[in-house]
């Protein structure tokens, strides 16, 4: 690794990611590690220049107040504490807040004056490092990539193609939970334009049958994640020398899936949903990147703008937007409503302004009127949010004429729908997705 690194030790802060992003914004790489890391483990990390102990309200685990091991202070690195009263550091920072610019000024002197870190964190260095690491990890073996066609897996595909070329085999699984026209677009871009080794698998019936009657969102995510792995294993058996599974796991996936001092928000199919008997070693070169950094990585790799800045799409697809137990008719209503929303956002120029926008169809109905008669149909919920790192999100204020047009089209064109609502909930307290 070419980059100098500031290590953040998690002592229960809610703002670890803000701190890490602030340091990276200064041009210095930063990673977050558990509070109980040993001095040997710390010394084994590449190019560590300093350590920040980041305390906070989650500093009690199983009834015991957590702290770093005393040996950390003797490991030979400058150490500073933030929001941690009991730390034996000569210099302390106040509790880290969520204002990026304020945090940058709080840590600037420590990073540069005390740690003497250099501003060598950039995407060119990151890509060079990861290409080398992937080559070293994979050797002459093949990597099977779960290619959804979303931003994360697309950037990962480009990175792996740069590292190992035709040793990469991309598998796109149509699980029946894709957006309208999504799978067709994936085949066109990756097979026809990027000349990747692409295997297309239509597993719609298999997934929807497995999901019949399943209401709990965590169970749905794990079924989808587990079934994905099974499909990959089946495809791998048809090929020679597949030992690795490439995944577009990014840092918010890991944080939301839970750490030693942070409770799980929701499991991600590529973190909490993996089966214990996984037959592959994982290749996850994006796992320490935030979402905006993934996009910057895609630009560095030369991917087209429309691919890098396309709409984020969760691994479980429409499965976590068709709330509760998935039914085929409600799933189709969701797919059609989502297509209308995306088309009208593009027409209004909002596709370049809003970070993520989508529709949700819950598993309940309401009374309405259609053709001068009583109807009992589903609502469609619209959601449009802006964020930098997917850890917090604000609501986009859509002009009324645009909302009216979207509403009128959905009510006129999508069967079995009689209401359209707009979700005004930020993250927190809501998450970006509903499930």
Nearest to 241 by CA among 151, 142, 335, 163: 142
Nearest to 142 by CA among 185, 197, 85, 204: 197
d(CA 92, CA 53): 9
Average pLDDT, integer, range 191-210: 92
Looking at per-residue pLDDT, the higher value among 178 and 195 belongs to 178
CB distance 127 to 94 below 8 Å = no
d(CA 75, CA 359): 51
Cα 120 to the center of its chain, rounded Å: 25
Looking at per-residue pLDDT, the higher value among 70 and 189 belongs to 70
User: pLDDT tens for residues 279-320?
Assistant: 789 999 999 898 889 999 999 999 888 788 888 788 899 999
pLDDT value, residue 240: 80
pLDDT value, residue 262: 52
Cα 176 to the center of its chain, rounded Å: 21
Looking at per-residue pLDDT, the higher value among 306 and 224 belongs to 224
d(CA 98, CA 255): 16
Q: Is the pLDDT of residue 4 over 70?
A: yes
pLDDT value, residue 40: 97
End-to-end, the C-alpha distance of the chain in Å comes to 37
CB distance 92 to 81 below 8 Å = yes
User: pLDDT tens for residues 124-138?
Assistant: 999 999 999 999 999
pLDDT value, residue 276: 66
pLDDT value, residue 309: 84
Determine which helix (DSSP H) or strand (DSSP E) holds 421, and give its type and residue range.
strand 417-422
pLDDT value, residue 279: 74
Q: Which range in 12-16, 217-221, 254-258, 273-277 is most confidently predicted, on average pLDDT?
A: 217-221
Q: Which range in 5-14, 91-100, 230-239, 376-385 is most confidently predicted, on average pLDDT?
A: 376-385
d(CA 435, CA 215): 11
pLDDT value, residue 113: 96
Q: Is the pLDDT of residue 169 over 60?
A: yes
Please give the backbone phi and psi of residue 367, each rounded to the nearest 5 degrees, phi first.
-80, 135
Q: Is the pLDDT of residue 97 over 90?
A: no
Q: Is the pLDDT of residue 119 over 80?
A: yes
**How big is the chain, counted in residues?**
435
Average pLDDT value over all residues in the chain = 89
pLDDT value, residue 19: 93
pLDDT value, residue 275: 59
pLDDT value, residue 191: 87
Nearest to 244 by CA among 132, 162, 141: 141
Nearest to 234 by CA among 203, 198, 211: 203
List strand residue ranges (DSSP E) for 168-265, in order. 168-174, 197-202, 242-246
Looking at per-residue pLDDT, the higher value among 12 and 434 belongs to 434
Q: Is the pLDDT of residue 263 over 70?
A: no
List strand residue ranges (DSSP E) for 184-298, in order. 197-202, 242-246, 281-283
Average pLDDT, integer, range 266-281: 57
CB distance 21 to 389 below 8 Å = yes
d(CA 250, CA 192): 27
Average pLDDT, integer, range 330-358: 96
Nearest to 359 by CA among 317, 329, 391, 300: 317
CB distance 146 to 242 below 8 Å = no
Determine which helix (DSSP H) or strand (DSSP E) holds 8, and give its type and residue range.
strand 5-11
pLDDT value, residue 272: 44
CB distance 45 to 7 below 8 Å = yes
pLDDT value, residue 421: 98
pTM of the model: 0.73
pLDDT value, residue 361: 98
CB distance 60 to 67 below 8 Å = no
pLDDT value, residue 182: 87
Q: Is the pLDDT of residue 264 over 60?
A: no
pLDDT value, residue 221: 94
């Amino acid at each position: 690794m070419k980059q100098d690194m500031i290590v953040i030790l998690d002592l229960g802060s809610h703002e670890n990611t803000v701190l890490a992003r602030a340091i990276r914004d200064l041009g210095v790489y930063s990673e977050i590690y558990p509070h109980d890391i040993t001095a040997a483990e710390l010394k084994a990390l590449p190019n560590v220049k300093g350590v920040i102990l980041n305390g906070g309200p989650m500093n009690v685990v199983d009834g015991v107040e957590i702290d770093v091991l005393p040996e950390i202070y003797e490991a030979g690195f400058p150490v500073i504490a933030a929001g941690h009263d009991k730390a034996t550091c000569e210099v302390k920072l106040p509790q880290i807040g969520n204002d990026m610019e304020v945090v940058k000024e709080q840590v600037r002197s420590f990073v540069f004056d005390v740690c003497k870190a250099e501003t060598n964190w950039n995407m060119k260095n990151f890509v060079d490092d990861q290409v080398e690491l992937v080559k070293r990890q994979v050797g002459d073996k093949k990597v099977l990539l779960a290619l959804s066609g979303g931003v994360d897996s697309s950037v990962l595909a480009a990175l792996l193609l740069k590292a190992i070329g035709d040793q990469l085999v991309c598998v796109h699984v149509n699980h029946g939970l894709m957006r309208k026209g999504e799978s067709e677009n994936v085949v066109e871009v990756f097979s026809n334009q990027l000349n990747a080794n692409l295997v297309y698998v239509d597993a719609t019936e298999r997934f929807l049958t497995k999901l019949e009657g399943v209401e709990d969102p965590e169970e749905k995510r794990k079924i989808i994640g587990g079934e994905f792995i099974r499909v990959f294993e089946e495809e791998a058996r048809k090929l020679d020398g597949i030992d690795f599974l490439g995944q577009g796991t990014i840092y918010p996936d890991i944080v939301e899936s839970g750490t030693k001092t942070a409770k799980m928000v929701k499991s991600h199919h590529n973190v909490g949903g993996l089966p214990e008997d996984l037959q592959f070693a994982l290749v996850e070169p994006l796992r320490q990147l935030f979402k905006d950094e993934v996009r910057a990585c895609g630009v560095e790799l030369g991917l087209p703008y429309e691919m890098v800045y396309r709409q984020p799409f969760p691994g479980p697809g429409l499965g976590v937007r068709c709330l509760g137990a998935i039914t085929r008719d409600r799933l189709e209503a969701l797919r059609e409503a989502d297509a209308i929303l995306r088309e009208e956002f593009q027409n209004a120029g909002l596709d370049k302004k809003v970070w993520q926008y989508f529709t949700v169809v819950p598993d309940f109905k309401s009374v309405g009127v259609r053709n001068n008669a009583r109807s009992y149909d589903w609502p469609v919920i619209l959601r449009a949010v802006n964020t930098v790192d997917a850890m917090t999100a604000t609501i986009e204020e859509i002009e009324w004429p645009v909302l009216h047009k979207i509403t009128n089209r959905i009510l006129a064109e999508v069967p079995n729908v009689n209401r359209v609502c707009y979700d005004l909930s930020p993250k927190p307290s809501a998450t970006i997705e509903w499930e």
